[in-house]
Amino acid sequence: MMDVAAMAGVSQATVSLVLNGSPGAKLADATRQRVLDAAHKLGYRLIGRDSRGASGMQSTVVFIADELSTDPWMALAFQGVRDKALEFGINACLAVSHGEINIETVVASQMSRLSPLGFIYGTILTRLVEVSPALAGDHTVLLNCYDAEREYPSVLPGDLLGGRTATERLIAAGYKRIGFINGQQGVDAARDRLKGYRQALASNDIPFDAALVRPGNWEPDSGYEMTLELMAMDHPPHAIFCANDMMALGCYDALAKLGLKVPDDIAVIGFDDREIAQHMHPPLTTLILPHYEMGEIAAEMLIDGANGLRARHNRIKVECELVERQSVE
């Protein structure tokens, strides 16, 4: 959609309105035609809304997010839900509950009048949740969260495997003394990425050194401060794994202050694959946080469940793919 928007000289929102056939969109005919022409030239596949829709199937998937923020994760997850639903001729709508059960109850009550296919409940942080009674039932899928009793199907990022993959990438490049700047303590993602880091070290017979692990807060300032601490050690690391790209941004700044070049003097790897990662100098090697794919899978699970198909495993972890750039030799 970004490519179509650039070729047509319009915004992504305009592309979405045209390609989804939104009847209420007030757009000039010439604008609509430019978008359609660009889509055709680029080979953009226009999905027929009714091409896979089952006869009599409810027409709406309701996505409830606990919050929206400057982080793109819930927006990406909803986009994945929406795109997959459209393949089946099903609409998707988004509501934000701010984690308040009374809001979730109101949303569920209002949407029940439309006989929705079901609900997808997503959280900005990967975490344990207690599912609202308003969402209880067979037609709810959890996204980026899970319930204690495993009563509900859930889709989660593979943070542990991702942490291992990042560390093994550095080990494969010849680094053995690897610093780790973790995220906020008590958060599932931080716990699992640290586990992956430790597993990779153990699998490669590299002793774990607790002094090489520093607590961050997911923000650039902690990446900056913790990098300075790591590099002030008597035996500083030769590579640094930052548990997210924002801390890697601060890490770059600290290394520049110390007169060190990435990756000539020290390698750095991040996690999340935020848009800024490809624009850093040098571009950051990182791992994708797969919320779009998680949204697609959650929608498929919901649709399959509505058609009587139940997955053997109701807790799916989606691989965080490594993106190679120039911050690791």
Handedness of CA 126, 219, 246, 161 (dihedral sign): negative
Considering the domain architecture, whether residues 145 and 294 belong to the same structural domain is answered as yes
* Predicted local distance difference test score (pLDDT) of residue 48: 43
Do 225 and 271 sit in the same domain of this protein? yes
In a domain, 263, yes or no: yes
Given a contact cutoff of 8 angstroms between Cβ atoms, the answer to whether 178 and 238 are in contact is yes
Find the domain containing 100 and state its range: 60-156+290-317
> Do 68 and 116 belong together in one domain?
yes
Shared-domain flag, residues 164 and 220? yes
What CA–CA distance (Å, rounded) separates 287 from 270?
7
The backbone torsions φ and ψ at residue 174, rounded to the nearest 5 degrees and listed phi first, read 105, 5
What does the alpha-carbon distance between residue 99 and residue 112 come to, in Å, rounded to a whole number? 20
Q: What is the pLDDT along the chain (329 residues), one digit of tens a residue?
A: 778 878 888 766 577 667 766 544 556 788 888 988 988 888 876 544 344 444 344 689 999 999 888 789 999 999 999 999 998 889 999 999 988 888 888 888 888 777 789 999 999 999 999 999 989 877 899 999 999 999 999 999 999 999 999 999 999 999 999 999 999 999 999 999 999 999 999 999 999 999 999 999 999 999 999 999 999 999 999 999 999 999 999 999 999 999 999 999 999 999 999 999 999 999 999 999 999 999 999 999 999 888 777 665 688 999 999 999 999 99
CATH of the domain at 125: 3.40.50.2300
Residues 181 and 108 in one domain: no
Q: Give the pLDDT confidence score for residue 306 in this predicted structure.
A: 81
Structural domains in the chain (count): 3
Q: Are residues 143 and 77 in the same domain?
A: yes
